[in-house]
Structure 1
Amino acid sequence: MEEEKCHSGEFEVGGYQWRLVLYPNGKKNSDGNGHISLYLAIAHTNDLPLGWEVNVNIRFFVFDQIRDKYLTIQDANGRVRRFHNLKTEWGFAQLLSHDTLNDPSNGYLLDDTCVFGVEVFVIKATGKGETLSMINQPQHNYFTWRIDNYSNLKGEAYFSEHFTVEGRRWELKLKPGGSETGADTCLSLYLCLGDSEILPPNRKLYAKYKLRIRDQVHGNHLEKTVENWFSDPNEGYGFHNFLSKRDLQDTSKGYLVGEGVLIECKIDVISVVNDFSSN
């Protein structure tokens, strides 16, 4: 019987494709019973040259959703791990015990959701490489978009002005008439990479963020959290049915005041890739 495991989406660091592999019930042949196991795996190894090997420093992260901080797990002294044809995964069979994970006071499991991250430091013989880091609560991560004369919005889609977080340009996308499951009944709201933001081939950008429409009367704001890997500036991620048109027009809700709507975005976590050189 195959072990239960799940994979993250692929991401690119140092010219290689990677993914996280999570074993919720532990990796059995590595003494992972009673724990969750987390590994970094190199992908598409059939595309790599004969005799390939990749040397990597790795740090794993588990997000404490109560205290808004990360637990960091790494090898002692930053040990370098060598990936090759016979060893395509490195990680921890006993990352966290199930007792620690399931204890609500620790904040790792909240609303049946866990957040994991990894920092990958690829060491190349040329002395050059790349690191991918997860930045928690980056600077200038809050953006407000005020829309006046909302009832006059007759187009299919509208975009906010650009805003910058950790050197990347972003914009909000609003569809007043809704889209897909929210068509004709809701307004749809998304976060997009700015249209001038072009990522290198095969590289993706991770973000965890909150989308919000303010209740301008009572302060009972409508807020939803989403996380995704971005690669295409034309592709936005958010909610087709963010807010129903009925609730928007209900003046007691406070979302539409004097024909004005306040939309906000807060990016809580973002990935950053940095080049480095030993020269």
Structure 2
Amino acid sequence: MSSSLREHPPSTYFIKFESLAQLNDDKYECSLFNAGGYNWRLVIYPKGNAKDEGDGFISMYVELDNTTLLSTPLTDVYAYLIFFVYNKKSDKYFTIKDIGHSLIFCYTIIDCEVKRFNALRTVDQCEFGVDVLVAPSLPKWEVVSFNQKTPNPKFVWSLKKFKELKAASYDSQKILAGGRQWFLKLYPNGDARAKGKWISIYLYLSDVETLNAKEKIYTRADVRIVDSRGTTHYVFGKLNSWYTKLNSGLGWSTFVSLDKVREAYLDIEGSLNVEVEFAVVSTTKYSPTADSTIVKNWREHPPSSYSLKINKLSQLTLDKYESRLFLSGGYNWRLVIYPKGNQKDDGTGFISMYVELDNTCLSSTLPMEVFAYLTFFVYNKKENKYFSIHDVEVKRFNALRTVWGLSQVLSVEIFNDPKNGYIFEGEQCEFGVDVVIATPFTKWEVVSFDEKFSFPKFSWSVKEFSVLKEKFYMSKSFSMGKREWKIQLHPKGDDRANNKWLSIFLNLDGTEIVKADEKIYVRALVKVIDPRGSNHATTTINNWYTESNKGWGVVEFLSLAKLREAYLDVEDTLNVEVEFEVVSVTKHSA
């Protein structure tokens, strides 16, 4: 867990409570919201989730709407969670996040101390929020295997008439070991560092082996010159190193002196026999590139934000080219291109492309940061289409970071070959970019628990109760908490009361329309008045009213025997009263 204060509000979902203290329910479940293609719900326990060791803490969860999974091929969703509580005193958001990512089938509890929560309240208002950042379905991974079972670990190379060799160096035939191709390179009179006194030997990866910029191969092998007259081999040492894109050959400049070779290591035919024996060659498997945040494809439509055409790009001797400013989404941007790659960003051997935000925009507009999706383009004349490369993750531009982009857009070798179509009509080429602004969060709700009613009570006199014959009766409609209500009374109980109990329910009026994901919290006292004293029969309604449940009450409110004995007045009237304490009001984003 890590916690901090930050100024930027939550980007995914925000909820504001007014008079949260009036919520007697253990938890509050927010409306569904969408993030990363899935529907979620923020769940808050203001007094802590006792079932999850949350006593003494505010507990906050994110719940995945599992019906979303039914419409996708995935059964697991991974997401990074950041929870927010607004602090009025510092005018910042207290944030707490799990630095791992959570599998959303189990709740993930995020706690902040109740004393902190109390400090955050202003006139009994408080604000919570959450950012749900869905991780790619398959994370980046690699599996490294150190293979010790090479079918043919030894390779012997005979250089005939060694004393007559005149070339500076000689290469052996190709060697297959550990799933890779290799060859030995031998300098009969040594390389430049041997000064004509030593044999130099190196073990190289074959040219057909192309390594990625960060790829490496661990190799452990013995290189020997065979003693043709006995069993003693001259072994200089073991190769025990990593082969990389920048270092594809390893060995020794001073392997063995020429005098020693002529004296002891040439056979009767004047041949020098060199042997390499592989002990270990590592193999590495990487996660497929399709699972990264980078998507590459072809499209016919040109860039929508900015296009740049360059003649004679080879004449540009500077490391980079910066375009003029262009407007997109209400902000000024600049396209930056490194034709030979940005070495400082691991872009050697590739065209690197970036977008830079003109930070003067930030000082003249209200937002202090801008979120944008970036797609870069390189035109291909041969295909008559644009090669596009898109980062599916939104990028955050602010005063501290005004530049985002990709260091490896397209191989320089592929780009520079006119046969591939990127260079055309006398060294012309074309680049472009789409900058799509991600709008601020638009899904929110403000929940107010209204406890200040001018007239919190409603009374209903049911006359001639003893002779009532209908199955149930409804009071007239009355207004409370900006809603219309009715009391429903069953003189002999509903179907579950077995004609032994009085049943009473508090219902929303039929004119009240509750939306599919809307809910209304109500806390109210329902009473049957004692006409002779203060021993009123009372129950508390403490429930949420929803589209599917617009009425709450008690089936066995009061036994009919007790009612006839003590609760009818001299005129055979039953007096029912409802006293409202809280009715929530919720405002939703459109």
TM-score (ref. length: structure 1): 0.65
Partner in structure 1 of residue 440 of structure 2: 125
Distance of aligned partners of 1:234 and 1:75 in 2 relative to their CA distance in 1, 3 Å threshold: same
CA contact (8 A) 2:446 2:588 kept: yes
Q: Which moved more, 1:162-171 or 1:129-138?
A: 129-138
Answer yes or no: is 1:262 the counterpart of 2:564.
no
Shift of 1:45: 5.1
Task: Please give the alpha-carbon distance, in whole angstroms, between the structure 2 residues aligned to 1:54 and 1:132.
Answer: 23
Answer yes or no: is 1:12 the counterpart of 2:31.
yes
What SS does structure 2 have at the residue aligned with 1:265? Answer: strand
Shift of 1:52: 8.5
Partner in structure 1 of residue 492 of structure 2: 177
CA contact (8 A) 1:192 1:233 kept: no
Shift of 1:51: 9.7
CA contact (8 A) 2:42 2:130 kept: no
The 5-angstrom pairing of residues 141-160 of structure 1 reads: 141-160=456-475
Aligned mate of 2:63, from 43, 68, 75? 43
Shift of 1:176: 0.8
Aligned mate of 2:508, from 190, 193, 205? 193
Task: Please give the alpha-carbon distance, in whole angstroms, between the structure 1 residues aligned to 2:96 and 2:112.
Answer: 17
Partner in structure 2 of residue 240 of structure 1: 555
Distance of aligned partners of 1:43 and 1:230 in 2 relative to their CA distance in 1, 3 Å threshold: same
CA contact (8 A) 1:195 1:233 kept: no
Shift of 1:78: 5.7
Task: Please give the alpha-carbon distance, in whole angstroms, between the structure 2 residues aligned to 1:83 and 1:134.
Answer: 29
CA contact (8 A) 1:139 1:166 kept: no
Aligned mate of 2:449, from 128, 134, 143? 134
Distance of aligned partners of 1:42 and 1:168 in 2 relative to their CA distance in 1, 3 Å threshold: farther
CA contact (8 A) 2:475 2:487 kept: yes
Distance of aligned partners of 1:168 and 1:146 in 2 relative to their CA distance in 1, 3 Å threshold: same
What SS does structure 1 have at the residue aligned with 2:516? Answer: coil
Partner in structure 2 of residue 273 of structure 1: 586
Shift of 1:126: 5.6
Distance of aligned partners of 1:118 and 1:141 in 2 relative to their CA distance in 1, 3 Å threshold: farther
Distance of aligned partners of 1:78 and 1:227 in 2 relative to their CA distance in 1, 3 Å threshold: farther
Task: Please give the alpha-carbon distance, in whole angstroms, between the structure 1 residues aligned to 2:453 and 2:101.
Answer: 38
Partner in structure 2 of residue 112 of structure 1: none
Distance of aligned partners of 1:141 and 1:86 in 2 relative to their CA distance in 1, 3 Å threshold: farther
The percentage of counterpart residues that share the same residue type is: 21
Partner in structure 2 of residue 228 of structure 1: 543
Distance of aligned partners of 1:237 and 1:128 in 2 relative to their CA distance in 1, 3 Å threshold: closer
Distance of aligned partners of 1:76 and 1:151 in 2 relative to their CA distance in 1, 3 Å threshold: farther
Distance of aligned partners of 1:12 and 1:120 in 2 relative to their CA distance in 1, 3 Å threshold: farther
Whose radius of gyration is greater, 1 or 2? Answer: 2
CA contact (8 A) 1:169 1:194 kept: yes
Aligned mate of 1:79, from 78, 93, 99? 93
> How many correspondences in the alignment?
231
Partner in structure 2 of residue 214 of structure 1: 529
Q: Which moved more, 1:175-184 or 1:265-274?
A: 175-184
Distance of aligned partners of 1:57 and 1:219 in 2 relative to their CA distance in 1, 3 Å threshold: same
Task: Please give the alpha-carbon distance, in whole angstroms, between the structure 2 residues aligned to 1:137 and 1:222.
Answer: 25
Q: Which segments of 5 or more consecutive residues in structure 2 lack a partner in the other structure?
A: 1-24, 35-39, 116-124, 132-438
- Which residue type is aligned with residue 203 of structure 1? E
Distance of aligned partners of 1:24 and 1:273 in 2 relative to their CA distance in 1, 3 Å threshold: same
Structural RMSD (CA): 4.0
Shift of 1:86: 4.0
Task: Please give the alpha-carbon distance, in whole angstroms, between the structure 2 residues aligned to 1:224 and 1:174.
Answer: 14
Task: Please give the alpha-carbon distance, in whole angstroms, between the structure 1 residues aligned to 2:130 and 2:585.
Answer: 14
Measured against aligned partners, the alpha-carbon deviations of 1:226-275 in whole angstroms (never above 9, x if no partner) come to 2111114764211111111111111xx24343121110011112221124
Partner in structure 2 of residue 23 of structure 1: 49
TM-score (ref. length: structure 2): 0.34
Measured against aligned partners, the alpha-carbon deviations of 1:169-220 in whole angstroms (never above 9, x if no partner) come to 1111101111255221011011111111111211111111110011112232
What SS does structure 1 have at the residue aligned with 2:466? Answer: helix
Partner in structure 1 of residue 479 of structure 2: 164
CA contact (8 A) 1:157 1:173 kept: yes
CA contact (8 A) 1:211 1:266 kept: yes
